[in-house]
Structure 1
Amino acid sequence: MGGRDYFRTHRTAERYDCKTNQWSWIAPMNEERYNASATVLNDKIYVAGGSFHISIITSVEVYDPDTNRWTYVAPMLSGRAALSCVAFHGCLYALGGYNETPSELSTEKYDPAEDTWTEMPCMNSKYEYVKAEVIDDTIFMIADPIYKQCFPTYVACFNDKENRWYETADMNVRRFH
């Protein structure tokens, strides 16, 4: 979904069929974007944020495989690229990334039932190229610090009952991208 090559930014999307080992086109997204993040929530694919040329995108699109259509949902509160989205407890979380402002980017939570975004607690610093997964009912995030030469790879987990981020032990090897 989306992406960029040397000449242009794409809005095209493809689906892989593991039974036939073939890729096929699906409906294109409404916007061209790269450095976006996608996740599955309620049997639909959500693509959030990203970049188009030099602009950072706030828009979020959802793909319904039953209708082969992309539709917009409420935009994020902050434009962000190089973020990570993860589905957790029936909501979509947008984590980290970068944008045009030097301020920290908080975590945002999207509630599809209400079509609204809510600002969540900030992580301890500004991080880009975030990777996140849900393990044992907890969001784990691994991120590149913005100032890579100064800090190790950051690992944290989110406790939704306490509504806060916890740092974990540093990884043994510093990794990014």
Structure 2
Amino acid sequence: MHERRRNLAVAVLGEMVYAMGGCVYGQQHETAERYDYRTNQWSFIAPMNSQRWNTSAAVLNDKIYVAGGYSKFYNYLNTVEVYDPVTNQWTFVAKLRFERVGNSCVVFHGSLYVLGGCYNARDNLSTEKYDPEKDTWTEMPDKCVSRGYSEAEVIDDMMFVIGEDQDVDTNFSARCFDDKKNEWYQATKCNVCRYGMSISVVKNLPNAKDYAYKHRDKLMEEKRKKMLALGNSAEASH
């Protein structure tokens, strides 16, 4: 790349890979660049309006959204800006409800979700959902990740989030979100503890079964039984 970067935001739009922000040796970047695999070249695009690192990005309606992160002197950001490749311009949209860094961005059913992250001494940050038509953020009903950093992806029409467990710092949990019921569910925990990880969905793997949960066909039934048991115990307590 033209700039050395760490803690940057990355997104894929069209057939280009975009790298935005980040920092190196105490210098924070507002610059952004994109990679064209056909020419094997990086080229600068318009810089962001803010220096920003330890942030995340996602693509919604053929535009790139970058939310939160640090600016200069470890200032926490709640600003969000969007890049239009047609005009080569960055524009601010409505601010997040909470300043946050180390968060994850993911697009799910036409909305942008910002999840996890941290803000000063505040460890518990609610998930926020962005409506591009109304330019508004809505706080979600539950905290999917208790503290620190998280990563999110969508698969099988469910949004999965991997992050630090609320009760055990040495384990990493996975949760999934059903937007039809507006509810979070606990998924099977990761086998290995990880920090600062990244996740992605790879489609059409010929040997996907080698990596799949062996009892996947029973997973939803197991989840249903657990939710039913929790509901029954709650009713009994009343």
State the TM-score, normalized to the length of structure 1.
0.94
Q: Deviations over 1:14-53 (max 9, x none)?
A: 0111110100000000000101110100000000000112
RMSD: 1.6
* Bigger helix share: 2
User: How many angstroms apart in 1 are the aligned matches of 2:26 and 2:101?
Assistant: 19
Superposed CA deviations along residues 41-85 of structure 1, whole A, max 9, x for unmatched, are: 000000000011221100000000000000000000001100000
Give the aligned partner of residue 71 of structure 1.
Answer: 91
CA contact (8 A) 1:128 1:146 kept: no
Where structure 1 has 5 or more consecutive residues not aligned to the other structure, the ranges are none
Match of 1:95 among 115, 118, 127: 115
| In structure 2, C-alpha distance between the alignment counterparts of 1:173 and 1:129, rounded to whole Å | 16
- Which secondary structure state, in structure 1, belongs to the residue aligned with residue 148 of structure 2? strand
Residues 100, 146 of structure 1: CA spacing in aligned structure 2 closer, same or farther, 3 A cutoff? farther
Query: Does the Cα contact within 8 Å between 2:152 and 2:160 map onto a contact in 1?
Result: yes
CA distance, structure 2, for counterparts of residue 23 and residue 125 of structure 1: 35
Distance 2:43 2:33 in 1: 5
Q: Secondary structure at the match of 1:121?
A: coil
Partners of 1:14 and 1:26 within 8 A in 2: yes
Question: Paired residue for 1:141?
Answer: 161
Instruction: Identify the structure with the greater strand proportion.
Output: 1
**Counterpart AA for 1:156:** R
TM-score (norm 2): 0.71
Deviation at 1:171?
Answer: 1.4
Shift of 1:103: 5.2
CA deviation after TM superposition for structure 1 residue 142, in Å: 0.7
- Structure 1 CA distance for aligned equivalents of residues 79 and 42 of structure 2: 26
Q: Which residue type is aligned with residue 35 of structure 1?
A: N
Q: Between Structure 1 and Structure 2, how many residues are aligned?
A: 176
Q: Does 1:121 align with 2:141?
A: yes
Residue in 1 that maps onto 2:59: 40
Structure 2 spans left out of the alignment, 5+ residues: 1-19, 197-238
Which residue, out of 63, 86, 106, partners 2:126? 106
C-alpha distance in 2, partners of 1:141/1:7? 30
Equivalent residue of 2:151, what SS? strand
Aligned to 2:171: 152
The farther-off stretch of 137-146 and 56-65 is 137-146
Structure 2 distance, partners of 1:7, 1:86, is 28
CA contact (8 A) 1:30 1:70 kept: yes
Percent of residue pairs bearing the same amino acid type: 53
Contact 1:98 1:128 in 2 (8 A): yes
Q: Which has the higher contact order (CA 8 A, sep 6+)?
A: 1
Deviation at 1:125, TM superposition (A): 4.9
- Match of residue 13 from structure 1: 32
Aligned to 1:3: 22
Structure 1 residue 128, shift from structure 2 partner: 2.2
Q: Give the aligned residue type for 1:97.
A: G
- Answer yes or no: is 1:50 the counterpart of 2:69: yes
